[in-house]
Amino acid sequence: MENNQISGESAQTQPPVPKKGLAWRVWAAAVLLAVISFSAGYQTGHKGYVWNGSTYQVVNQSSVPKNVDYNLLWDAMKVVDSKFIGKAPTPEQYLYGAVKGAVAAAGDPYTAFFEPKELEIFNTDLKGNFDGIGAEIGKQNGNIVIIAPLDGTPASRAGLRPKDIIMKVDGASTADWTTDEAVDHIRGQRGTKVVLTIAREGRLQPFDLEIVRDQIVIKSVKWDFKQVGSKRIAVITISRFGEDTVPLFQNAVNDVITKSADGLIVDLRNNPGGYLQSAVDVASQWVKSGDVVVKEAKSQGSEQVYTASGLNRLGGMKTIVLINGGSASAAEILAGALHDHGKATLLGEKSFGKGSVQELVNLPEGGAVKVTVAKWITPGGKNLDKDGLNPDIPVKLTEDDAKANKDPQMDKALEEITK
């Protein structure tokens, strides 16, 4: 079993399909075990969080029913098996459906059960090589939304923007979908098309976008230099926090120092997050060793602190961090840490506000559970999940700016950093 904190699918032996009659009872036992396990975990793990005056604490809630009659589940399955006009679900579909429903009962959009094929898709995301449209999908206020379109991908070229609401995928309503169900429908083989029905702030009517899927291969870090008068300014763009982020960022820092940059702009716009440790390692290039980068507020008020461990090579360099509504999760951790330690000025628009910690737990029977286990708190005590990050220097980038290939946020950052 392997645990990954988020900011390959193993070979599985498929069980034989039992014959009708005894079939649903045999598999009902397996489902019962899964649901009972969930119930126990739910009763001990249903959590909220409170502000105690200095920190956020996650606390258990006690208002959970003690007794549940699971005959409702068996009876419902029996009705479908005997009366459904179409093809009845297979025992495996019953099992996966029951487990998904049980996990979804937590009421958290980031806690979900992955079937083996869904787990494979999830694991490829952070490796930066997959087929799809190239957009991070999330859930806000009950809606499936675009967190961030990745640069240079079909999603970006089609004009998708952070906070766009996906109302339909190929005509199918997303009203009751989980985030992972939306990803599963939007993903597909390169060269195929998907039609998204989008609701966007400022537009009266939803509209359709037809997007051709492609292979998405993206390095998570790129950098270059801009000459502004007599000053050389480095610009490092981090598109996500994946497996390649830390070594690529170290290469970028070496280049910045070797070329004696006079200032640094870190572009975290539309960065949907990723691995927690990658964000901590990157922050360690500014924050002194041993200083807090982020805190995890866990259950019963417990807390885990992640501290910097790097060489603090950028600690003395003037830094501006660009954020927007697509900056989420691990991107907010980095931006929040640099801001709270006085290492960077935040410029742009308010961040997404996704500050919860997910742990990926692989299950021996196949698949995995991605479960929210804590809330992220910045060194200064800001609850990222509740508040997001407000920029020190607010600058909007409008749809008209994007269409005209203008970037007032970058322009303002270059102006500020050369003062």
Q: pLDDT of 249-297, one tens digit each?
A: 999 999 999 999 999 999 999 998 988 999 999 999 999 999 999 998 8
Mean pLDDT of the chain: 83
pLDDT at 4 over 80: no
d(Cα 82, Cα 70) in Å, to the nearest integer?
Answer: 19
pLDDT tens digits, residue range 81-116? 999 998 889 988 999 999 999 999 999 888 999 998
Asked whether the beta carbons of 95 and 34 are under 8 A apart, the reply is yes
CATH assignment at residue 188: 2.30.42.10
| Residue 57 maps to a domain | yes
Could you tell me if 245 and 98 lie in one domain?
no
| Residue 119 maps to a domain | no
d(Cα 135, Cα 217) in Å, to the nearest integer?
Answer: 12
pLDDT at 62 over 60: no
Strand pairing category for 214-217 and 143-149? unpaired
Could you tell me if 367 and 259 lie in one domain?
yes
Task: Give the 3-state secondary structure of residue 387.
Answer: helix
For the chain, the distance separating the N- and C-terminal CA atoms, rounded to the nearest angstrom, is 52
105: exposed, middle or buried (Cβ count in 10 Å: 0-12, 13-18, 19+): middle
Could you tell me if 18 and 79 lie in one domain?
yes
Could you tell me if 102 and 23 lie in one domain?
yes
What's residue 64's pLDDT? 52
Which of 52, 79, 114 corresponds to the end of one domain?
A: 114
| Residue 306 maps to a domain | yes
CATH assignment at residue 255: 3.90.226.10
| Residue 166 maps to a domain | yes
Q: What are the catalytic residues?
A: 329, 340, 354
Could you tell me if 95 and 190 lie in one domain?
no
Which of 86, 114, 142 corresponds to the end of one domain?
A: 114
> Number of folded domains in the chain?
3
| Residue 15 maps to a domain | yes
d(Cα 316, Cα 288) in Å, to the nearest integer?
Answer: 11
Could you tell me if 326 and 380 lie in one domain?
yes
| Residue 37 maps to a domain | yes
> What is 219-247 written as a DSSP string?
-SEEEEEEEETTEEEEEEEE--B-TTHHH
Domain carrying residue 406: 221-417
Could you tell me if 243 and 361 lie in one domain?
yes
CA angle 304, 307, 127 (to 5 degrees): 90
Q: Where are the beta strands (DSSP E) in 26-75?
A: 47-51, 56-60
Could you tell me if 233 and 343 lie in one domain?
yes
Could you tell me if 276 and 201 lie in one domain?
no
Which of 174, 202, 217 corresponds to the end of one domain?
A: 217
Could you tell me if 55 and 202 lie in one domain?
no
d(Cα 299, Cα 278) in Å, to the nearest integer?
Answer: 24
pLDDT tens digits, residue range 137-186? 888 888 999 988 887 899 999 999 988 999 999 999 999 898 878 988 99
pLDDT tens digits, residue range 227-254? 999 999 999 999 989 889 999 999 999 9
Could you tell me if 88 and 18 lie in one domain?
yes
Q: Which of 28-37, 209-218, 368-377 has the lowest mean pLDDT?
A: 28-37
| Residue 120 maps to a domain | no
- Report the run of H or E that residue 121 belongs to, with start and end: helix 116-125
| Residue 240 maps to a domain | yes
d(Cα 223, Cα 221) in Å, to the nearest integer?
Answer: 7
pTM over 0.75: no
d(Cα 192, Cα 374) in Å, to the nearest integer?
Answer: 38
User: Distance of CA 306 to CAs 28, 71, 241, 311, Å?
Assistant: 43, 46, 16, 16
What's residue 207's pLDDT? 97
Could you tell me if 402 and 321 lie in one domain?
yes
